[in-house]
């Protein structure tokens, strides 16, 4: 598959198994607070609901969420349920399991036997009788270890009809191969963006060869990760943004989408204006020279 395509990303789609999604989706993490996971100020509930509804109006039919996306007074899954149920027929909701947080916010990691409870929690919160896509999110401590036992437990839940499709998150190429030997994998959700190391670039290309969607997170935030966009950016990124009269975030998103037709975006925001900008980035055309200059950063 070519990584040179330059048609507007928002007019192209990709299939997650038998589900067709638009390539610019939406990440729900930032709906619950201004600083996820660290007790930040909660978002206004009605505003978050409005952002979700507006996202669907703008063409989003792929939403990424998790039961552990919650703050003291907000739950991403509850907000999605409130905003969008009864759900549009073409809406695909992807969630992730293995990590979890107790009511105090403390993290814990599920055993294979506990994954069913995490899947059921997502089903209850979202008001669904099955989950469209469930990603197995691998903990940092397992980056070099086997994920077979956990992925096998999810494969059993897929066979039972609780899950339609499976994906993996924060994995290595070897772990992807291990999962694919157990059950079909429709997507890989890993950190990726301008300045990504060679190992990550290689995995993105490999997913394209396999026909597996690559769903980058932190494509906009970069080194800022959960805290949001990094405070500093390369002058090259600023120069390209100025040339197009758009934000640095839009350039980062447009460049990431340009890495292949199998690349899906899930930018997250609780701000209506930022939502509009993220969606517009899907139509942003970068020249071959601009794309190459941006791609050389960090190498």
Residues involved in catalysis? 69
Distance of CA 84 to the CA centre of its chain: 19
Q: Which residues pair with 63 in a beta bridge?
A: 26, 93
Compute φ and ψ for 180, nearest 5 degrees: -65, -25
DSSP assignment of 173-225, as one string?
A: HHHHHHHHTTS---EEE-B--TT--HHHHHHHHHHHHHT-EE--BSTTTGGGG
With residues binned 3-state (H G I as helix, E B as strand, rest as coil), the percentages for the chain, rounded to 5, are 40, 15, 40
Strands 99-101, 62-64: parallel, antiparallel or unpaired by DSSP? unpaired
């Amino acid at each position: 598959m070519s990584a040179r395509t330059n048609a507007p990303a928002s007019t192209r789609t990709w299939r997650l198994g038998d589900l067709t999604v638009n390539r610019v989706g939406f990440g729900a993490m930032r709906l619950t607070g201004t600083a996820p996971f660290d007790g930040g100020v909660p978002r206004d509930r009605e505003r978050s609901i409005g952002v979700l509804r507006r996202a669907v109006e703008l063409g989003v039919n792929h939403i990424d969420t998790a039961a552990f996306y919650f703050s003291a007074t907000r739950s991403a899954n509850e907000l999605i349920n409130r905003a969008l149920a009864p759900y549009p027929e073409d809406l695909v909701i992807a969630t992730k399991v293995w990590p979890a947080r107790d009511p105090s916010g403390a993290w814990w990691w599920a055993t294979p036997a506990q994954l069913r409870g995490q899947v059921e929690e997502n089903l209850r919160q979202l008001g669904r009788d099955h989950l469209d896509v469930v990603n197995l999110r691998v903990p940092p401590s397992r980056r070099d270890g086997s994920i077979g036992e956990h992925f096998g437990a999810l494969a059993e839940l897929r066979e039972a009809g609780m899950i339609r499709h499976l994906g993996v998150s924060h994995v290595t190429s070897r772990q992807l191969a291990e999962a694919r030997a157990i059950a079909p994998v429709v997507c890989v959700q890993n950190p990726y963006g301008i300045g990504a190391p060679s190992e990550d670039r290689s995995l993105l290309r490999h997913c394209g060869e396999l026909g597996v969607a690559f769903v980058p997170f932190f494509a906009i935030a970069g080194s800022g990760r959960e805290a949001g966009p990094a405070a500093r950016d390369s002058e090259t990124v600023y120069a390209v943004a100025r040339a197009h009269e758009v934000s640095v975030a839009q350039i980062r998103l447009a460049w990431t989408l340009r890495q292949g037709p199998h690349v899906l975006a899930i930018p997250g925001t609780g701000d209506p204006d930022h939502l509009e900008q993220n969606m517009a980035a899907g139509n942003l055309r970068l020249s071959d020279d601009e794309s190459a200059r941006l791609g050389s950063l960090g190498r």
